[in-house]
């Protein structure tokens, strides 16, 4: 944040109300802007904010806000104004030497004010917009895109008024009541109410950040757990080689190994496939992989039984696993393709069993 080295939040000040330039939308009551800015400065000081400013010229709102901010008040700690300027410029707000406000000049390595301006805006804890023209509108759009707490005071029109209209569509951390407040005419208590609005936005944003961090950690833990489950499923599927037994007539144990081991591999493949997706839901992926693997493996075994009816009388389960395990894993990893083929009425293409009569041609499809 801009407030590096301090525990106080920093508000960037953006806008102007000078006579002469053409404002779109039109500026309203420009003569009331200086006093409104001073009131906002006093309210920001009482609320414990520091300021980020970019110019000391009276035509910009920074000058007037800082004047109100620097007025004597009963505050427990020091107040800071961070003056962000290009490297060759100087800014003077004319504050008395005994002022409780500390001006800290932060020089940017560039020579253009836009670089320092937008870099500071992105690092701020909030932004106050009053009047202004195109730069104020752009600053508001950038702040909304980055979900920076925003106070576009629409009472005086200008670019800030247009940002208020845009904020009503984006919302971020503002409520209906906040939008109504930002659009009201200026009143004696407007400054304090607006600063309270900024506090509420910051609280909502902090809550959103905490929820996002928890969601990220939860997703990371879920992904890690899914990968551990996938490794365990793969390891369990490989134990089929040890449990297959010798070649001979099919038994309940050998048939269970022939079917279950590839299904475990298909679930592992689906979970690994799910880890590449943004929304990782490995239990759901495992169930889908189980379905795809079951269909593929049973169709494969059925095709071999049709080709060799006596296959189960002398079956080598360990040999078959060298084909059914990769088939199950592939079916789980590409379960979306398997289900798409089933929806289109085409059965998955299993690899042929090499050697002997098992390579017999598949029976023709019935019309």
Quote the pLDDT of residue 280. Answer: 59
Joined together, the tokens standing for residue 248 give: 């001979």
Collapsing DSSP states into helix, strand and coil, what is residue 147? coil
Predicted local distance difference test score (pLDDT) of residue 1: 47
pTM summary value: 0.72
Structural domains of the chain, with CATH:
10-212 (3.40.50.450), 239-359 (no CATH)
pLDDT band of 86, cuts 50, 70, 90: confident
More reliable by pLDDT, 136 or 273: 136
Token match 């000040």: residue? 13
- Other C-beta atoms closer than 10 Å to the C-beta of 336 total 12
Instruction: Give the pLDDT of residue 224.
Output: 86
33 neighbors 26 (Cβ within 8 angstroms) = no
The pLDDT tens digits of the residues spanning 17-44 come to: 988 888 888 999 999 999 999 999 999 9
Instruction: DSSP for 187-204, please give it.
Output: -TTHHHHHHHHHHHHHHH
d(CA 122, CA 145): 10
- Confidence at residue 273, expressed as pLDDT on a 0 to 100 scale: 85
Which residues face 121 on adjacent strands? none
Nearest to 42 by CA among 180, 235, 200, 194: 194
3-state secondary structure of 253: helix
Are 120 and 3 a contacting pair, CB within 8 Å? no
All residues at 6 or more sequence positions from 330 whose CB lies less than 8 Å from its CB, including other chains: 269, 296
Q: Confirm if 358 and 352 have CB atoms less than 8 A apart.
A: yes
Residue with tokens 């008040």: 73
What is the structure's pLDDT at 358?
44
Q: Which two tokens stand for residue 102?
A: 């500390």
Give yes or no for a contact between 332 and 268, defined as CB atoms under 8 angstroms apart. Answer: yes
349 conformational bin, left if phi > 0, alpha if psi -120 to 50, beta if neither:
beta
Quote the CA–CA distance of 126 and 80 in Å, as a whole number. Answer: 15
Coil vs helix vs strand at 240: helix
pLDDT of 314: 83
User: What CA–CA distance (Å, rounded) separates 353 from 109?
Assistant: 70
């Amino acid at each position: 944040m801009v407030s590096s080295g301090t525990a106080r939040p920093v508000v960037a000040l953006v806008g102007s109300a000078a006579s002469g330039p053409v404002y779109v939308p039109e500026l309203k009551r420009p003569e009331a802007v200086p006093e409104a800015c001073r009131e906002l400065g006093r309210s920001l000081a009482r609320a414990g904010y520091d300021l980020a400013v970019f110019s000391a010229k009276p035509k910009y709102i920074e000058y007037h806000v800082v004047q109100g901010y620097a007025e004597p008040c009963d505050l427990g700690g020091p107040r800071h104004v961070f003056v962000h300027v290009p490297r060759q410029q100087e800014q003077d707000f004319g504050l008395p030497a005994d002022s409780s406000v500390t001006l800290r000049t932060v020089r940017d390595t560039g020579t253009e004010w836009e670089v320092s301006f937008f870099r500071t805006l992105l690092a701020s804890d909030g932004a106050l917009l009053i009047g202004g023209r195109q730069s104020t509108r752009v600053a508001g759009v950038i702040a909304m895109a980055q979900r920076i707490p925003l106070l576009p005071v629409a009472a005086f029109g200008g670019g800030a008024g247009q940002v208020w209209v845009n904020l009503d569509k984006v919302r971020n951390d503002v409520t209906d009541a906040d939008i109504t407040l930002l659009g009201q005419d200026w009143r004696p208590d407007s400054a304090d109410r607006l600063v309270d609005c900024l506090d509420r936005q910051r609280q909502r944003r902090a809550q959103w950040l905490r929820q996002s961090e928890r969601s990220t950690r939860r997703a990371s833990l879920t992904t890690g757990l899914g990968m551990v489950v996938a490794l365990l499923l793969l390891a369990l599927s490989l134990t089929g080689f040890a449990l297959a037994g010798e070649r001979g007539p099919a038994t309940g144990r050998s048939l269970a190994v022939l079917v279950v081991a590839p299904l475990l591999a298909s679930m592992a493949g689906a979970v690994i496939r799910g880890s590449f997706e943004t929304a990782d839901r490995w239990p759901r992926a495992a169930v889908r992989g189980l379905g795809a693997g079951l269909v593929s493996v049973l169709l494969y075994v059925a095709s071999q039984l049709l080709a060799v009816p006596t296959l189960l009388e002398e079956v080598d389960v360990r040999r078959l696993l060298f084909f059914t395990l990769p088939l199950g894993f592939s079916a789980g990893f590409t379960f979306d393709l398997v289900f798409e083929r089933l929806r289109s009425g085409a059965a998955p293409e299993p690899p042929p069993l090499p050697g002997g009569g098992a390579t017999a041609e598949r029976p023709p499809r019935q019309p």
